[in-house]
Amino acid sequence: MDRKPVARRYVLLLIAGVLLLPIVAWAIVAVAAILGAMGDSSGAVWLNRMAWICGALWAVDLVCLVIVEGFNSLGDSDRE
């Protein structure tokens, strides 16, 4: 039985976050630019802050994914 320190479900969630958060952040930036061009500066500022939050979450998710994969690779070395 191959037992890993971190469940596969959590690794898949972290990978999904790494792949999807930059797309979401850029979509928010695009909508903020459209709102800014339409004259809604407060909406554009709010969405730009949300994009920064998505970027920060992406960075945290990326670091967590590296740490989790490190734990999983250390768990694999016990079989050898």
Question: CA triplet 20, 74, 10: central angle to 5 degrees?
Answer: 30
> Are 17 and 57 spatial neighbours (Cβ–Cβ below 8 Å)?
yes
Residue with tokens 């694999």: 76
Domain ranges of the chain: 19-71
What is the pLDDT averaged over residues 11-27? 96
Range of lowest pLDDT (46-50, 63-67, 76-80): 76-80
Residues 36-61 pLDDT 10s: 999 999 999 999 999 999 999 999 99
Structure tokens at 33: 């630019």
CA-to-CA distance for 52 and 64, rounded, in angstroms? Answer: 18
DSSP 3-state of 75: helix
pTM of the predicted structure, to 2 decimals: 0.83
Residues 5-16 pLDDT 10s: 888 899 999 999
Band of pLDDT at residue 4, cut at 50, 70 and 90: confident
